[in-house]
Each structure stands twice: as structure tokens, then as C-alpha cells.
């Protein structure tokens, strides 16, 4: 190859690189502007910008996820396809769950939430089931999530939250159970779960309060008193703990 030909090839390569770089920069700009529009509540404008970016960079997972978020309220079926195309792990799984829920495909939505370890989403579903009196279904949802979590640094906080939810569901079911033996068994299961939650997250006042009032109603008044005293050590004057301690016959004076 002559020196002139080599220069022509080099120039052509630089031109192509410039074109590719320009496409990527424009796609990035469309994504950035689309996110601005989405934050401002302009979903249609955001979707248009994300779609323009995807025409330039059709394989960008980030653009597919953002396009899905823009479509979620207006076209959940298409949003689901975008989240699946993005395949960005837990965030996309959870948002795919939102799309499925919007389409009325509740069981599939729950499966996605569980896969994503989306504790808050699962908790919301469980709360809706509890409100409908479907305690066993709520426990099944939370237990499926529990099976996905591990007792390690990453999952410990989520694990505590799930144990706490299971405990609260069991105690709510026990309060509604007419048969005394069945109620006692259910309450014991709930108190065991709340004990796990407080062991994993010993400074969480919500878990401690739930455990204390659970023991007060269904279990051991001495354990309830110790729990309320523990809360007051962490948070002197906490009104619910003061009330609970008074109901156990313990002193509320510091």
C-alpha cells in the first residue's frame, strides 16, 4: 500500500470513528434529556427522547430501561418488553413486576418482585392480602422472598424486615383465629419470627415494639416488660414503650 493510500485509509477510519462517537454522544444526550423530562412529569416527551436514542444505539440497556419507565403508566405491556430487553438485574425485575401488576397479572408480578428481592414491593402485596383477610397467601409471598435471602452483610437488613413482616402477619392472623389452640400456635410462630427480626436488627424500635406488644398479648409478660425497657434505654420517653411497660406493671420512671 502506498503512503497516499495509507493516509486515505486512516482518514476514512477517523471519519467512521467520529460518526460512531457522534451517534453515541447524541444517544447519551437523548437519554439525559429524557430523564429530565421524566422527572418533570413529561412522560410522552421522555418516551420520545428515549426512542430517538434507541434508534441511534439500539443495544443500550440503559435506554431500554429508561424507555420502559417512561411507558409504564401508559403502556405497561410495552414497558414490560423494554425491562426484559434491558435485563439490568433487580431494578428491571422489580419494574417488570410493576408492569405486570398494572396489567392485572398479579401472580407473575409477585414472582418478579421475589426474584428481585424487592422487599418493599413484596411487603405492599402482603399488606393488601392481609387487608383482605388472606393471611396464608400473605405469608406465602413473604416466605418465598425469605427463601431468596441470606444471613450475610448484604441481605441482613432485608432479612430482618421480612421476618418482622412474617411475625406481624402471624400475630394478626392469631388475633382473628377463633380456636384458642390454633391462635396460640400461630402467635408463637409470629413471636419467633419477630424474635429473629430483633436479633438481626436489635436497634429497630418498630420490630421491638411489635415483639413487645405481641408478647404482652399472646406470650410472656416478663419478656414484654424487658423489651419495653430495652426500647426506653434506646429512646427514653418513647410513648408506645411507656404505655406497654405500664400495662406490664413495670415502672415507667427513669
Q: What is the mean pLDDT of the chain?
A: 89
Within 10 angstroms of residue 152's Cβ, the number of other Cβ atoms is 8
pLDDT for res 219 = 84
Q: Is the pLDDT of residue 12 over 70?
A: no
pLDDT for res 6 = 55
Query: Are 183 and 87 contained in the same domain?
Result: no
pLDDT tens, 102-112? 999 999 999 99
Residue with cell 414491593: 121
d(CA 207, CA 181): 25
Query: Are 252 and 126 contained in the same domain?
Result: yes
pLDDT for res 17 = 47
Domain-located, residue 10 = no
Q: Where are the beta strands (DSSP E) in the chain?
A: none
d(CA 104, CA 172): 27
Cα–Cα distances in angstroms (integers) from residue 55 to residues 20, 24, 45, 77, 92, in the given order = 13, 11, 16, 20, 21
**Last residue of a domain, which of 116, 132, 151?**
116
Query: Are 51 and 122 contained in the same domain?
Result: no
Domain-located, residue 224 = yes
CATH of the domain at 97: 1.25.40.10
Q: Where are the alpha helices (DSSP H) in 40-60?
A: 43-56
pLDDT for res 11 = 54
Domain-located, residue 163 = yes
Give the number of domains in the chain.
2
pLDDT for res 62 = 95
Query: Are 238 and 140 contained in the same domain?
Result: yes
Which residues contact residue 104 at a Cβ distance below 8 angstroms, ignoring those fewer than 6 apart?
A: none
Domain of residue 90, residue span: 21-116
Domain-located, residue 152 = yes
Q: Is the pLDDT of residue 16 over 50?
A: no
Domain-located, residue 135 = yes
Q: Is the pLDDT of residue 192 over 60?
A: yes
pLDDT tens, 145-184? 999 998 888 889 999 999 999 999 999 999 988 667 788 8
**Last residue of a domain, which of 97, 116, 135?**
116
Query: Are 79 and 136 contained in the same domain?
Result: no
Q: Enter the pTM of the model.
A: 0.79
**Last residue of a domain, which of 81, 100, 116?**
116
Which residues contact residue 10 at a Cβ distance below 8 angstroms, ignoring those fewer than 6 apart?
A: none
d(CA 243, CA 254): 14
d(CA 60, CA 51): 11
pLDDT tens, 199-233? 999 999 999 999 999 999 998 999 999 999 999 99
Query: Are 29 and 125 contained in the same domain?
Result: no
Query: Are 162 and 187 contained in the same domain?
Result: yes
Amino acid at each position: 500500500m502506498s503512503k497516499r493510500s495509507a493516509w486515505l485509509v486512516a482518514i476514512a477510519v477517523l471519519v467512521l470513528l467520529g460518526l460512531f462517537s457522534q451517534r453515541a454522544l447524541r444517544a447519551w444526550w437523548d437519554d439525559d434529556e429524557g430523564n429530565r423530562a421524566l422527572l418533570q412529569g413529561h412522560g410522552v416527551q421522555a418516551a420520545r427522547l428515549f426512542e430517538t436514542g434507541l434508534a441511534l444505539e439500539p443495544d443500550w440497556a440503559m435506554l431500554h430501561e429508561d424507555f420502559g419507565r417512561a411507558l409504564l403508566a401508559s403502556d405497561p405491556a410495552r414497558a414490560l418488553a423494554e425491562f426484559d430487553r434491558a435485563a439490568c438485574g433487580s431494578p428491571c425485575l422489580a419494574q417488570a413486576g410493576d408492569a405486570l401488576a398494572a396489567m392485572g397479572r398479579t401472580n407473575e408480578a409477585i414472582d418478579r418482585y421475589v426474584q428481585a428481592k424487592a422487599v418493599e414491593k413484596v411487603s405492599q402485596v402482603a399488606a393488601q392480602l392481609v387487608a383482605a383477610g388472606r393471611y396464608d397467601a400473605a405469608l406465602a409471598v413473604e416466605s418465598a422472598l425469605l427463601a431468596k435471602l441470606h444471613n450475610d452483610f448484604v441481605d441482613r437488613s432485608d432479612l430482618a424486615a421480612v421476618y418482622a413482616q412474617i411475625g406481624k402477619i402471624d400475630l394478626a392472623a392469631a388475633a382473628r383465629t377463633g380456636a384458642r389452640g390454633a391462635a396460640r400456635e400461630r402467635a408463637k410462630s409470629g413471636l419467633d419470627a419477630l424474635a429473629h427480626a430483633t436479633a438481626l436488627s436489635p436497634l429497630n424500635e418498630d420490630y421491638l415494639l411489635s415483639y413487645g406488644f405481641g408478647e404482652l398479648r399472646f406470650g410472656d409478660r416478663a419478656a414484654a416488660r424487658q423489651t419495653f425497657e430495652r426500647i426506653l434505654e434506646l429512646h427514653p420517653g418513647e410513648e408506645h414503650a411507656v404505655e406497654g411497660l405500664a400495662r406490664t406493671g413495670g415502672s415507667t420512671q427513669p
